[in-house]
Structure 1
Amino acid sequence: MPERQNPAIKDPELYEKLRDDGASKGKAARISNAAAKQGRSKIGEKGGESGSYDDWTVAELRGRAKEIGLSGYSDKRKSELISMLRNS
């Protein structure tokens, strides 16, 4: 039996690609629907560049680790925190 697509997803091909790349269902839906409405090239222009973890303070890195649900970060050095965040 073929899988039923959610009718709220306007670009199912892009949605599935994003899901395969690890995006959450919500994020994949937002991006694919925006791409269907405005065009894929327009959405690609919107993306920004996030700052480097190397520029963050240890307190900011610990806050981010807590925010995304990592554990065991409280006694880590800056380089170890960065590695944990990049590999999570």
Structure 2
Amino acid sequence: MTKNHGNSIKDDDTYEALREQGASKSKAAAIANAQANDQQDPSVKGASQPPYEDWTKDDLYSRAQELEIDGRSDMDKDELIKALRNN
């Protein structure tokens, strides 16, 4: 039986499946909630931002800071990209 994750998770089945596949809590919640919202289509790539490879290191660092990624101050550009993608 699927666990009820409260009001913050709109699609508990999808959330649990993503967590079992190794997705982070925030990523699984975002995808599960987007799938539960008829006005969003999470399977369509947004493309509103350029790929991380085109960002400056300072921009990557700022994004990592927003997401509270540990160890970001010691990371080079490639490590920041990897950490952002795995978050």
Instruction: Give the TM-score normalised by structure 2.
Output: 0.53
Higher RCO structure (Cα 8 Å, ≥6 apart): 2
- Greater shift after overlay, 14-23 or 53-62? 14-23
Q: Which runs of 4+ in 1 moved over 6 A?
A: 6-10
Between Structure 1 and Structure 2, the one with more helix by share is: 1
- Partner Cα distance (1:72, 1:6) in 2: 30
Identity of aligned residues (%): 35
Instruction: Give the TM-score normalised by structure 1.
Output: 0.53
Structure number with greater Rg is 1
Number of residue equivalences? 82
Task: Provide Cα deviations, 1:2-50, integer angstroms capped at 9, x if missing partner.
Answer: 455579777654444344342536424422322xx47xxx825643235
Q: Over aligned residues, Cα RMSD in angstroms?
A: 3.6
- Partner Cα distance (2:17, 2:80) in 1: 30
Structure 1: tracts of 5 or more residues without a match: none
Structure 2: tracts of 5 or more residues without a match: none
Residues 56 and 14 (structure 1), Cα distance of their counterparts in 2 relative to 1, 3 Å cut: same
